[in-house]
Structure 1
């Protein structure tokens, strides 16, 4: 037996075929990947470790930039983030106390402590902190550019974008990678149209060097 690290785009059939196994054999080696009530395969996540037939361990070709291998489920900060979807700024003078929590996690107080302060980086900081890992501690997107370690595009990786428009110069945007297609990255992020939501951003807005970061 050997272990294989699930890569972006993998599915059970692809993995089984890649290692000369039948799908039944792959299922036999990984019984927890199947919902026995429905008989359907559970979703595989990049970085998940599965068992295959073989004589050695198989990882990503480029180990320096490989997908993280630490979790057999979505990373804990992503599990926290997805529960926050729908949190949004309040109209009028009142502030959403949840968004104030995000900002306080970065040490923001005083006149800046209101839900109209840019809070996308504060949302990332709060999620990472509440998952038990050490965040950057900053609500400035630019402060996250060298944080953590660079990885390939991986579900749950922190994704950093350049300023979206001229009048937002120096701001940028940051969130967690949820999916990608040929032209877009889909981020679970805060302060996206004043709320936490999953939305698409063009890949052309990715920062040029190591746009995907991991928490450790």
Structure 2
């Protein structure tokens, strides 16, 4: 058995193939990662997985001086920021000043009932030293940064989930066959990790990265 550092663009089946492993064997080396060969948790660059020792393919080294990896696997900084905000929720009566702060990051001054998923994500990006979209609209993220494959912490853009809605946006936490688990603001009126229908992802390239 040998340690492998996940590289950008990797996914479980690709890593297994690099080392001449079938998915069944790969799953045995990494218990809990996949519930079936076609249904795995999201992996991210810098994460350490186990592969067959002595395989022909070389064990990869960590990417040189990655922007958001320090020592060992770390979520990207905007994801770390968002994780720290879990539980922030709308007040009734009154307005939660933290949500007002999110809204102010995109120039909005409404009450905390104002749609704030995009404002929350902009706030997380800004606090982490990255540019967001500067807009309170979820749809503003459709062409943000660059398109990537499903990657832990990637921006996830959804179509409107109901009539009259403008869509939803958050950060990728995990994938299932029919659902996408996303950390987002204004999800049930709070910051939380929740599942959304996979068929509601925007067509084309729903996963985005700021650089």
Bin of the TM-score, shorter chain as denominator length? 0.7 to 0.9
Residues 44, 151 of structure 2: 8 Å contact kept: yes
Aligned equivalent of 1:199: 194
Instruction: Decide whether aligned partners of structure 1 residues 87 and 213 sit closer, same or farther in structure 2, where only a CA change above 3 A counts.
Output: same
> Aligned to 1:192, what secondary structure does the other structure show?
coil
- Structure 1 residue 57 displacement after superposition: 8.2
The alignment covers a number of residue pairs equal to 179
Residues 120, 174 of structure 1: 8 Å contact kept: yes
Compute the RMSD of aligned alpha carbons: 3.4
- Structure 1 residue 167 displacement after superposition: 3.4
Residues 47, 74 of structure 2: 8 Å contact kept: no
- Structure 1 residue 55 displacement after superposition: 7.7
Residues 142, 206 of structure 2: 8 Å contact kept: yes
Aligned equivalent of 1:129: 126
**Which ranges in structure 1 are unaligned for 5 or more consecutive residues?**
21-43, 60-67
Which residues of 2 match residues 89-168 of structure 1 at below 5 A? 89-92=90-93, 94-109=94-109, 112=110, 114-168=111-165
C-alpha distance in structure 1 between counterparts of 2:92 and 2:117, whole Å: 18
> TM-score if structure 1 supplies the norm length?
0.71
Higher-Rg structure is 1
> Aligned to 2:164, what secondary structure does the other structure show?
helix
Residues 179, 197 of structure 2: 8 Å contact kept: yes
C-alpha distance in structure 1 between counterparts of 2:46 and 2:59, whole Å: 13
> TM-score if structure 2 supplies the norm length?
0.73
Aligned equivalent of 1:84: 85
- Structure 1 residue 77 displacement after superposition: 0.4
Instruction: Decide whether aligned partners of structure 1 residues 95 and 70 sit closer, same or farther in structure 2, where only a CA change above 3 A counts.
Output: closer
Instruction: Decide whether aligned partners of structure 1 residues 85 and 9 sit closer, same or farther in structure 2, where only a CA change above 3 A counts.
Output: farther
Q: Which runs of 4+ in 1 moved over 4 A?
A: 49-59
